[in-house]
């Protein structure tokens, strides 16, 4: 007896690999901006992460006796790899991205049952592990090319990442600098006002003269395409960005000397990539419309709290991971109204 096919008897309107492909394609503008402002490091890190991701993914699938091809082609490992690469400083020892990716794929994804079963965003688990284990390396960023007029070229960057050696004419301190969020934290803690800090560093002003802002705008641009293409819905990004804007706006109104304005919070750090590319990971996010608003707002609030009072310059990763834990509860309490049950009429 042949197997009887079930409805619908139509071509598929969507697929996991289509969604993942769109996510990856829309990351390209941000990737280009990254290379433009910070040099080739992002590309090197991406390659390391991707290779690690596919090797570990294939290895885990083999161990778990799962078919290789459908799962390797779904693109999810690629996204995990890219998100980790985007989170790391461009100049960093090669084994750190590799370690984070392997950790993400093996521990955060496959130990929980693989695609669809992991409660925590794998990329953020890998990144958070680095934040905890290698805090120093994580903050050693490089200034945008617009400031000191050079970036390392591809070979130089690769050479550093592989062998931790810089070209003879450059020193480590010359090429590294904290991220704007980090810098602000440190300087305000030292007693400076936000305006003073901003005046002292070209990367803070004017707004669109500095790499971070542009990269954030590229994430925003890519994210809007994803919403338009129905890969993600607007709920999580809007809720997350709104809560960050409102909280930082309040703080700014109360004391503009100690608190940067909302735009700084939205375009600095990981707000945009977080809102459109990390918090929207379907597997680990809430699935109901109302639940997504709560989930997104929760991430925004935690992110702001960590930025303002926590020990880390940015809080997106922890915001996502903490809200991941709340997802089952959120989903349970935000079920949509069933047709005919408690409507406006009757």
d(CA 124, CA 284): 11
Closest approach of other proteins to the CB of residue 274, in Å: 19
The torsion of the CA quartet 247, 253, 256, 259, rounded to 10 degrees, works out to -10
Q: Which of 23, 87, 115, 140 binds other proteins (CB under 8 A)?
A: 115
Size of the site for other proteins (CB under 8 A): 46
Q: Which of 27, 40, 74, 272 binds other proteins (CB under 8 A)?
A: 74
DSSP lists the bridge partners of residue 177 as 141
Closest approach of other proteins to the CB of residue 85, in Å: 22
The SS3 call for residue 326 is helix
Q: Which of 285, 293, 297, 302 binds other proteins (CB under 8 A)?
A: 285
Q: Which of 62, 111, 116, 205 binds other proteins (CB under 8 A)?
A: 116
d(CA 337, CA 346): 14
> Both tokens of residue 104?
């993400």
d(CA 245, CA 261): 9
Placement of tokens 């790499």 in the chain: 211
Closest approach of other proteins to the CB of residue 289, in Å: 8
Q: Which of 189, 309, 311, 339 binds other proteins (CB under 8 A)?
A: 339
Report the candidate in 231, 254, 263, 91 with the shortest Cα–Cα distance to residue 166: 91
Closest approach of other proteins to the CB of residue 65, in Å: 15
Around Cβ 236, how many Cβ atoms within 10 Å? Answer: 29
Which parts of 9-28 interact with other proteins (CB under 8 A)? 9-16, 18-19
Which parts of 232-261 interact with other proteins (CB under 8 A)? 233
What backbone phi and psi angles, to 5 degrees, belong to 243?
Answer: -65, -35
Give CA separation, 285 vs 77, 87, 101, 121, 279, in Å: 17, 20, 20, 9, 7
Determine the interface stretch with other proteins among 8-16, 91-99, 191-199, 294-302 (rule: CB under 8 A): 8-16
Closest approach of other proteins to the CB of residue 195, in Å: 44
Q: Which of 197, 220, 283, 317 binds other proteins (CB under 8 A)?
A: 283
| Interface with other proteins, residue 337, by CB under 8 A | yes
Closest approach of other proteins to the CB of residue 280, in Å: 10
If you ran DSSP here, which 8-state letter would residue 202 be given? G
Residues 57, 73 contacting (CB under 8 angstroms):
no
Determine the interface stretch with other proteins among 43-51, 114-122, 182-190, 299-307 (rule: CB under 8 A): 114-122
- List of residues contacting other proteins (CB under 8 A): 1-2, 4-16, 18-19, 70-71, 74, 76, 114-117, 230, 233, 282-285, 287-289, 292, 331, 335-341, 343, 345-346
């Amino acid at each position: 007896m042949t197997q009887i096919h079930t409805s619908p008897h139509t071509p598929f309107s969507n697929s996991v690999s289509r969604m993942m492909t769109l996510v990856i394609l829309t990351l390209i503008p941000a990737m280009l901006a990254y290379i433009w402002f910070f040099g080739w490091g992002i590309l090197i890190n991406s390659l390391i992460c991707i290779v690690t991701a596919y090797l570990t993914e294939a290895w885990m699938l083999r161990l778990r006796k799962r078919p290789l091809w459908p799962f390797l082609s779904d693109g999810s490992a690629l996204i995990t790899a890219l998100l980790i690469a985007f989170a790391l400083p461009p100049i960093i020892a090669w084994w750190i991205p590799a370690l984070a990716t392997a950790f993400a794929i093996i521990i955060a994804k496959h130990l929980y049952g693989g695609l669809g079963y992991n409660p925590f965003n794998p990329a953020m688990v890998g990144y958070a592990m680095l934040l905890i284990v290698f805090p120093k390396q994580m903050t050693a960023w490089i200034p945008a090319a617009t400031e000191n007029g050079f970036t390392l070229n591809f070979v130089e960057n690769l050479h550093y990442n592989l062998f931790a050696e810089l070209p003879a004419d450059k020193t480590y301190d010359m090429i590294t600098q904290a991220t704007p969020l980090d810098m602000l934290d440190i300087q305000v803690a030292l007693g400076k006002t936000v305006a003073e800090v901003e005046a002292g560093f070209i990367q803070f002003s004017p707004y669109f003269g500095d790499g971070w802002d542009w990269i954030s705008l590229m994430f925003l641009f890519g994210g809007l395409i994803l919403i338009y293409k129905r890969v993600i819905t607007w709920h999580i990004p809007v809720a997350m960005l709104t809560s960050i804007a409102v909280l930082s706006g309040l703080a700014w109104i109360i004391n503009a000397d100690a608190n940067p304005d909302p735009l700084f919070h939205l375009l600095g750090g990981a707000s945009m990539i977080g809102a459109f590319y990390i918090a929207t990971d379907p597997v680990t996010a809430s699935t109901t419309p109302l639940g997504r608003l709560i989930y997104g707002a929760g991430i925004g609030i935690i992110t702001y709290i960590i930025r303002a009072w926590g020990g880390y310059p940015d809080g997106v990763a922890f915001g996502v991971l903490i809200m991941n834990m709340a997802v089952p509860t959120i989903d349970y309490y935000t079920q949509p109204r069933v047709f005919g049950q408690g409507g406006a009429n009757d």
